[in-house]
Structure formats: C-alpha cells, structure tokens
Structure 1
Amino acid sequence: MNQTEIMMLPEMNDLWQKTLNWQPDESQQQQFQRLYELIVEGNRSLNLTRITEPMEFWEKHLWDSLRGIARLLPTNHNSAENPESATESVQKAIDIGTGGGFPGLPIAIVLPHLSVTLLDSTRKKITFLETVLPYLGIENAVTLLGRSDEIARQPHHKQAYDLALLRAVGAAPLCAKCALPLLKNGGLAVLYRGNWTVEEETELQRAIEHLGGTVESVEAFTTPTSQGARHCVYLRKVE
C-alpha cells in the first residue's frame, strides 16, 4: 500500500445513508479528508489519537462523532421530532475535553449553523486546533483553553450552551458534573460510552440528582464496520 492509498479516507456514502439516514456532500467529504491528513500529521508530534488507519478513522472518529447527534442531522427523518426544528433549537454546543477535536470538529463541519466551542485543558492541543480551523475553513467553531469546572464559573459560559459533548473524558458521573453547569435549562448532554451497565446508570442517577439533570435516554448500537458495542447516554438539564 503506497502513501496515497494510506492517506485516502473511504467515502462510505451507502453506509452513512444506511446507518444515519444522511451522507456528506462533496465539500464535507473534502473537509473530512483534510481533517484526517491534519490529524495524521499532528500525531507525529502530539499524542492526538491511536487511530490513524483510514477505515478505523472513518468509523471511530467520524461516524462515531456524528452518531451521537444523529437526531440533529439535517436529513435524518427517523427522529420523532422534526429534524429542522431540532437543529434550529440547538444553537450553541461545547465539546468538553475535545483532544484532537472529536466529536466537535466533525459536528461543526456537518452542522455549519451550530456554534461549537472546543474546550481542552492542554495548551498544545488547543494550539493545534487553532491551526486546523482556518485550514479547514471552519468558521463556526472556536477553541477554549481551560478546565470545565473553572469555565462553568465564568458568567458568559455558565448555563450558556444548548448541547454538551463528552467523549473519552472519564466516568459518567464526572462527565455529568462537567456538563450540566454549562447547559441552559432544557439543554442536552451527550455522553459517548463504550459498554454501559446497570451499575453505571445507577451511579450516574445518584450523581446527577443535585445537579438538576435527568437521564433522558440511553441508546445502544454497534459500530458499522467493526461491530463494536457503543452507547450514547443523553442527559437533560431540567432545573
């Protein structure tokens, strides 16, 4: 396999359509490709991800990122709610512990009307993302350096977001404590998880009682090519 083959992402339009009732347009596919190249390049000096093989990158970074917000994808008519109105009601999102930009960057590419804040406490990763955004032509995302608990105490971030995204951040109760103070009343937190147990849900329920949150739903699914077990836990800010 030569370098050109290694660096080309699969398009996977049929699988996008089959699993999410959506597929990227040509411009979005090109942005995904450029994002992939930037991550592979950045990975040589930064510990951004262990996932650099094209098919694995597509599934575990691109597809997985968008699966968590499938209800907001513009052509997803599987949702009981109108997808256009759902997207319009979600205007500000924060990706907590974004790392190399996942899930925030793919979501910003796909939902250009959504304002996405990429939050991380590691300056090198934020610096990397600051170079990525203009290169990809992403104008609806900004970076933010800091810890979520500190950021949540700042007036312009406290209860300011409609959507919080947490992927590979830590235990579910910790994720809830990071996310809920940043959400408006009625806002939604998406916890990206691998396996999910009754014990974990019980522990999470106990942790969010005093944070004004409730577990709205838990979606179980398998990844489309490797058949890995995944869950998305959706928390609603209720008070």
Structure 2
Amino acid sequence: MKIASPEWQQLLADAAAKIAVHTDPEKTAAFAVHAAELLKWNKKVNLTAIKDPAEVAIKHFADSLAPAPMIPPGTSLLDIGSGGGFPGIPLKVLMPSVSVTLIDASRKKVSFQQHVIRCLGLGDIRARHIRAEDLARSSEGANAFDVIVCRALSSLDKFAEMALPLLAEGGVMLALKGRIFEAETEAIHAVPGMSQNGEDRFSLEVRKYRLPLLGSERAIVRIQPHFSNI
C-alpha cells in the first residue's frame, strides 16, 4: 500500500469509523495530501519516526480524529506542541467550523504546518512559533481558547499547568495519551489553581480505546477546571 493511495484513504476512513468518527472522500483526500507532505518533508525535517503507510493512517490521522466527538462545533482550539500538525490539522479538516491555532517550539515544524495549511487551502487556522508559556502572557492568548489539545507531552500535570492560563472560562483540556496510570492523573491535584484546601477545582474523565487494526492502548483525558471556584 502506498501512502495517500485510494487504498490508504479507505483504510483511514474505516479506522476512523471504528472509533466513532465519520469522514468523507473529500476529507480523506485532504488527509492524504497531509500524509504525503509529511513523509516528503520528513527527509529533511524530523517530523515523525512512523513511516509505514498503514501506521501513518492509524497512529497519526485516525488517532488525531479520536477527540472530535468531545469538541463542540464553532469553538476555538489550541494545539500545543503540534509537531507534524497533529491533531490540529486533521481536526480542522474534519470540523471546518472550529478555529484552530497550532503552536510549536520548533520553527522548522511550524514551517511545515504552514506549508500543509497552504496546500489544503484551509482558513481560520494558523501555525505559530511560540511557546505556550509566552502565548499565555500575551493579550491574545490569555484565557482565549475553548479547547486545548496535545499529544505526546510527557505528563498530564505539565500539560495542565501550561494550558490553564490559556483556557477560556468553561473550556476543556484534552490530552491524547497512550496508556494512562492513576499516579499521572493524581499529579494534576498539585498543579497551581487546580485544587484548594484539599478540594478539587476540576473534573476529570478518561476515555480509553484501542487503535483499530493495531490494538494499541490509547486514552483521551478530559480535564475541565471549575473556574467559578478559582
């Protein structure tokens, strides 16, 4: 199977359907363009260690679409550490009404994201070379986003600490993880602003699933701070 071939696109569509996300030929064609550019740029920029076409379809694209049912239409979404554009660009393709901002500390990765955005002709999405901490200190970033997502950050507490100053009132954080352990979710209690006097200031939900065909364990951790108590 070749990357971005009709067979590849069908595999991706089938994999997405198995995790309750439905796409269409126009959207899978856009994912195919992203995938082809990913592997082309990967020869000069370190974007991914995954090169097998089936694994690219499932681990990068289908997995990026998994949180879609948890994202309301028309919201503003921030993708922290977007890397090769995941999950932000696939989510934008799937949900055009969502306003998306991608940030990454690597200028080369941001250049790739901007290239894919141009290739796909996407609107209301931008890629920025900025750290989350710096964005949070700006007037356009502080408490500005309804949904904040990330993949591959080392720990939930680090993600929560970075995301909290960027989150709008009533907003949610979505962490896309591999296997999740109780100790990692418990660490969120120590994040400043997430608890006070032993009382939680957030609700937490863990949705576990397995990647289609591959069977790898995955989890989406949904964290919603109680801003009314902060």
* TM norm structure 1: 0.86
Unaligned runs of 5+ residues in structure 1 are 73-85
Instruction: Measure how far apart 1:10 and its partner are.
Output: 3.6
Aligned equivalent of 2:17: 17
Unaligned runs of 5+ residues in structure 2 are none
CA contact (8 A) 1:180 1:213 kept: no
Q: Distance in 2 between matches of 1:162 and 1:110?
A: 17
Amino acid at match of 2:202: T
- SS of alignment partner, residue 19 of structure 2: helix
Count the aligned residue pairs. Answer: 220
Amino acid at match of 2:105: S
Matched, 1:184 2:168: yes
Instruction: Measure how far apart 1:170 and its partner are.
Output: 2.0
| 1:213 to 1:164, Cα distance in 2 relative to 1, 3 A | farther
CA-atom RMSD in angstroms:
1.8
Aligned equivalent of 1:138: 122
Aligned equivalent of 1:217: 205
| 1:30 to 1:6, Cα distance in 2 relative to 1, 3 A | closer
Question: Structure 1 stretches (4+) deviating beyond 4 angstroms?
Answer: 210-213
**1:2-47 Cα deviation digits (max 9, x unpaired):** xxx3552241334433321x32212111101100100010100000
Aligned equivalent of 1:40: 39
Instruction: Measure how far apart 1:52 and its partner are.
Output: 2.0
CA contact (8 A) 2:64 2:87 kept: yes
Instruction: Measure how far apart 1:69 and its partner are.
Output: 2.6
Percent of aligned pairs sharing the same letter: 28
Instruction: Measure how far apart 1:140 and its partner are.
Output: 2.4
Aligned ranges 1:112-127 → 2 under 5 Å: 112-127=96-111
Aligned equivalent of 1:199: 183
* TM norm structure 2: 0.89
Amino acid at match of 1:26: P
Matched, 1:233 2:221: yes
Q: Distance in 1 between matches of 2:182 and 2:15?
A: 31
